[in-house]
A and B are shown apart, each in its own frame.
Chain A
Amino acid sequence: MINGINRFIPDNLKPFKTNNSYLDMKRTLINKKEKQFETVFLNNIESAFDYFNIKSNQCLSFHHHLRNGDNVLQQVSEVVKRRDLRNMHFAPSSIFPSYTNLADLILNGNVTDIHTNYLNGKVAEVIGQGYLKGKLIMNTHGGRARAIESGDLKIDVAFLACPTVDKFGNGTGAFGPSACGTLGYAISDLEYAKKVILVTDNLVDKLDEYQFDGAYVDAVIVVDSIGNSEGIVSGTTKLTKDPIGLKIAKDCANVINQLGLIKNNFSMQTGAGKISLAVVKYIQDIMNQKNITGSFASGGITKSYVDMLNKGLFKELYDVQCFDLDAVKSYHLNKNHKAMSASKYGNPFEKNPICNRLSFVILGATEIDLDFNVNVTTDSWGNIIGGSGGHADVAHGADVTVIISPLFKSRIPIIKDKVITVTTPGNDIDILVTERGIAVNPERKDILKTLENSGLPIYTIKELYNLAHSITGIPAKIKHSDEIIGYVEYRDGTYIDCIYKVI
């Protein structure tokens, strides 16, 4: 069948209708888990498989707060391989290039189904080549929380890396040898998984403050190392020095300023891309010039935002995951640097989630089409290189959503007739800022009117599309096979697009 944005979806799946359809749906909540026994302490991951009788056909979940430094999913994968468990369903909140053991499990047929929000590296390659025998579902951060609380995603055992755990099973990421800061993506797993196992390398007597409540924790495993917290620093968290990127960032900050969005008590979020971080710097300059104090910044938090909090430019930070070690330290020491769960961040059924309170959000795109639909899941050839993360959540929630991107990357224009994969529907995208001009979604007549006499280079998206083609020529259309290798699930649980095997 064809869904609400003209994408093919198999008949047995619930099709996406509109970005607001969730308003007509009822929130479904399964019961939160009730622990039957005292928390047990185990010596290794292998023994947890025996203790909880983890067997084939079960669903194991993980979070990705240690990002590319995580070693828990790797260790669990080794046990699954050793025991040759079959038809396993893995549900990590994201998958990074260091998760190489999972790729082997897919190739061997041990893991056949995956739920995740973001996918990169070797696992993406093997799935892209069609080796995953079951289903790949890529949902949003808020959508994952919704899927877990509603029982759409049933988790048998959650293996949750936890930098410090006490003898009551309470856990925190704020400190410890592998500190990673907030643990927001794992809260739904903690509350709804049938069994919850914290994996730590730092056991203490008692925690006064914790994010993981021991009331939900069945077992604690103490290992030598849960990972390398330096691996949480992503290469994409550094500010650009590229003059094109800086021009886009400056124009973006200018648009935001001209829309009057930088005013006292405003709130904002940006991605962790290099250009986004430059936007933060320019917005900070404007705030300083106009003596503005913002209400909060949210999202994955970087040093830039920590500095702004410390300078009093924001009153609070709402942090679902720390993107660098400065953010980890700040979360530990600064009471105004607050943790939020993925549900509180972007679950459409949450009452007043943080994403709905944003004045504006700045996001990236690998492609955007003439209907403003955005792809951050696949590249221009259809290879899986990412995923929504919180993209579709905040794009929907924020008052103004801005996409920033060079008009073409190398020789590939980013504006397409139709994006290869829809991650975020065009109705939720308001403005595209490129180095050669700015396009406003014609649905946002209010924005168009405000920017009418701004002196900014405003074009239609079709004009920018033509401008790009006048420079690069018209690229050949990319063909993909008809074989579906995965699905993009919108935040409300409907299916917005399919991911196809690359030819």
Chain B
Amino acid sequence: MFRSLLFIPSNNPSMIQNADIFSADGIIFDLEDSVDISEKDNARNLLMNYLNEGTNYPSLIVLRINPVETEFFLNDLELLKTQKINYVLLPKADIESLKILDRHLSTYEEKYKLDKIKVIVLTETTNSIIEIDQIAKHKRVEGILLGAEDLCNELEINRTNEGNEILFARSKVIYACTANNIIAIDTPNTSIDNEELLKKDCLNAKNLGMKAKSAIHPNQLEIINDIFSPSKDEIDWAIKVIKEKEKNLSKGAFSVDGKMIDKPLLMKADKIINKAKLYHLI
């Protein structure tokens, strides 16, 4: 479970060095779009050294590899040998590329005696949105991250502050993830100096059903973490529900503040409490 994933270009030593101190729940070390083609080797080497020789790491590490059809793909996977990577982020994903990645991961797992490698899929093409139900059902996939910039480029439409142009894609990601009990991760907001815009964007995504959001700058993390955490009111309500349940163990339904609490609301309260504990809010 996480609220925020911060992209860090893997050819930026000072950002890598400080990756563990940002308030992101997880760091995405990027080998793909933020790294120029002439820097791919250097970025991979730098990240390999960091993962092998470093002393302090983020609590959750995601590796964005290059797409499966590129010459960099297999070399990128070599970083799995460090055993520090929690998720592989597959860019430009569709069901075919996911299957290719899956085969290679199985080989790596066997060859290097690794635990099962988990995958987050980056849906940033119209095809990936069409295939999203299949993608979400795949055994390796634990999350889907919407990549709105590439998607809008393909659609030849402009991004707007309101985000109506990506409402369909967001909804597809959210429904596919929720139905398969994996995490829906929202596209990053590229406006790094406009806090109000970021807040609105986060609230919109959260209210639609996104469970986390990616960030492209550390200064976005505080707002993202704040909005994707349970609010104080939600936590207070959940605590009250759990306390009432303990008093009414034999009852299927009971009331809190004059409102009926049954199984779905009890589950909601449990989730809120779990998140609040995880994020050190209680």
The interface of chain A, by Cβ under 8 A from chain B, is: 241, 243-244, 246-247, 435-436, 455, 467, 470-471
Tell me the complex Cα distance, A467–B56, Å. Answer: 9
Does B279 have its Cβ within 8 Å of any Cβ on chain A?
no
CA distance A470 to B20 in the complex (A): 14
Which residue of chain B has the shortest Cβ distance to A246 in the bound complex?
B219
CB proximity to A under 8 Å, residues B1-59: 17-18, 21-23, 54-56
A436 neighbours in B (Cβ, 8 Å): 21, 56
- Please give, as numbers and ranges, the residues of chain A lying within 8 Å of B280 by CB-CB distance: 455
Docked Cα-Cα span, A244 to B19, in Å, equals 10
Which chain A residue has the least Cβ–Cβ distance from B56? Answer: A471
Given contact pairs A243-B219, A247-B21, A247-B22, a sample of 11 additional A-B residue pairs in the complex whose CB atoms are under 8 Å apart = A241-B219, A243-B217, A246-B218, A246-B219, A247-B218, A435-B18, A436-B21, A436-B56, A470-B56, A471-B17, A471-B54
A470 touches B21 (CB 8 A): no
- Chain A residues within 8 Å of B55, by CB: 470-471
Residue of B nearest to A436 (CB): B21
Docked Cα-Cα span, A467 to B18, in Å, equals 13
Residues of B within 8 A of A435 (CB): 18, 21
Binding site for A on B (CB under 8 A): 17-18, 21-23, 54-56, 217-219, 280
CB–CB B18/A244 < 8 A: yes
Q: Which residue of A247, A435, A467 has the most chain B CB atoms within 10 A of its CB atom?
A: A247
Q: Which 6 A-B pairs have the closest CB atoms?
A: A243-B218, A470-B55, A435-B21, A243-B219, A244-B18, A436-B21
The closest CB in chain B to the CB of A455 belongs to: B280
Chain A residue nearest to B20 (CB atoms) is A436
Provide the residues of chain B in CB contact with A467, threshold 8 Å.
Answer: 56
Alpha-carbon separation in the docked complex, A243 to B17 (Å) = 13
CB proximity of A377 to chain B, nearest CB, Å: 27
Q: B7 CB to closest chain A CB, in angstroms?
A: 13
Q: How far is the CA of A455 from the CA of B279 in the complex (A)?
A: 13
Chain B min CB distance to A473 (Å)? 11
| A to B contact number (C-beta, < 8 Å) | 26
- Give the secondary structure class of B's interface: loop
How many Å lie between the Cα of A83 and that of B219 in the bound state? 57
CB distance from B142 to the nearest CB of A (A): 27
Q: Which residue of B lies closest to A408 (CB)?
A: B17
Report chain A residues within 8 Å CB of B18. Answer: 243-244, 435
Residues of A within 8 A of B218 (CB): 243, 246-247
Which of A243, A467, A471: most chain B Cβ within 10 A?
A: A243
Cβ A243 vs Cβ B22 within 8 A: yes
B259 to chain A, nearest CB (A): 30
Q: Which residues does chain B contribute within 8 Å of A471, judged by CB atoms?
A: 17, 54-56
The distance from the CB of A475 to the nearest CB of chain B, in whole angstroms, is 15
Chain B nearest CB, measured from A411 CB (Å):
9
Chain B residues with Cβ below 8 Å from A455 are 280
Name 6 A/B residue pairs within 8 A (Cβ), A-sorted.
Answer: A241-B219, A243-B18, A247-B21, A247-B23, A436-B56, A471-B17
- The interface residues of chain A lying within 8 Å CB-to-CB of B219 are 241, 243, 246
Give min CB distance, B129 to chain A, whole Å.
33
Contacts of A244 in B (CB 8 A): 18, 21
> A33 CA to B72 CA in the complex, in Å?
79
The CA-CA distance from A467 to B54 in the complex, in Å, is 12
B103 to A: closest C-beta gap in Å? 38
Q: How far is the CB of A456 from chain B (nearest CB, A)?
A: 12
Min CB distance, B28 to chain A, in Å? Answer: 16
Interfacial chain A residues near B17, Cβ < 8 Å: 471
A471 vs B280: C-alpha distance in the bound complex, in angstroms? 27
Give bound CA distance, A246 to B23, whole Å. Answer: 11
A65 to B21, CA, bound (A): 39
- A331 and B54 CA atoms in complex are apart in Å by 51
- Give CA–CA (A400, B4) in the complex, Å: 35
Bound Cα distance A72, B67 (Å): 64
Q: How far is A37 from B157 in the complex, measured between Cα atoms in Å?
A: 81
Cβ of B56 to closest chain A Cβ, rounded Å? 7
Chain B, Cβ-Cβ closest to A244:
B18
Closest to B6 in A: A243
CA A435 to CA B19, docked complex, whole Å: 11
Looking at A241, A244, A436, the one whose CB has the most chain B CB atoms below 10 A away is: A244
Smallest CB separation, B150 vs chain A (Å): 26
Nearest A residue (CB) for B220: A243
Q: How far is the CB of A274 from chain B (nearest CB, A)?
A: 14
Across-interface contacts of B21 in A (CB, < 8 A): 244, 247, 435-436
Cα–Cα distance between A253 and B228 once the two chains are bound (Å): 24
Q: Which residues on the B side are within 8 Å of A470 (C-beta)? A: 55-56
Q: Return chain A residues, CB-CB under 8 Å to B54.
A: 471
CB of B18 to closest CB in A, whole Å: 6
Q: A435 CA to B17 CA in the complex, in Å?
A: 12
CB distance from A494 to the nearest CB of B (A): 40
Q: Closest residue of chain A to B280, judged by CB?
A: A455
Q: Tell me, rounded to whole Å, the shortest Cβ–Cβ distance linking A98 to chain B.
A: 31
* Chain B residues with CB below 8 A from A241, complex form: 219
CA distance A243 to B56 in the complex (A): 18
Chain A nearest Cβ from B75, distance in angstroms: 27
* Minimum C-beta distance from B49 to chain A (A): 13
Chain B's closest residue to A243 (CB) is B218
CA distance A243 to B221 in the complex (A): 10
Bound state CA distance, A247 and B23, in angstroms?
9
- Cα–Cα, bound, A247→B6 (Å): 15
Report the minimum CB–CB distance from A187 to chain B (whole Å): 42
CA–CA, A244 to B218, complex, Å?
9
- When chains A and B are docked, how far (Å) is the Cα of A470 from the Cα of B21? 15
Alpha-carbon gap, A125 to B18, bound state (A): 33
User: A241 vs B17: C-alpha distance in the bound complex, in angstroms?
Assistant: 18
| Complexed CA–CA distance, A244 and B17 (Å) | 11
- Give Cα A455 to B17, complex, Å: 24
Taking CB as reference atom, which chain B residue is nearest A437? B21
- Which residues from chain B contact A246 at a C-beta distance below 8 Å? 218-219
Name A406's closest neighbour in chain B (CB-CB). Answer: B18
Please give the distance in Å from B212's CB to the nearest CB on chain A. Answer: 19
Q: Which residues of A lie under 8 Å from residue B217 when comparing CB positions?
A: 243
How distant is the Cα of A455 from the Cα of B18 in the complex, in angstroms? 21
- The docked-state distance in angstroms from the alpha carbon of A177 to that of B55 is 56
Give A279 Cβ to nearest chain B Cβ, in Å. Answer: 16
A69–B54 alpha-carbon span in the complex (Å): 46
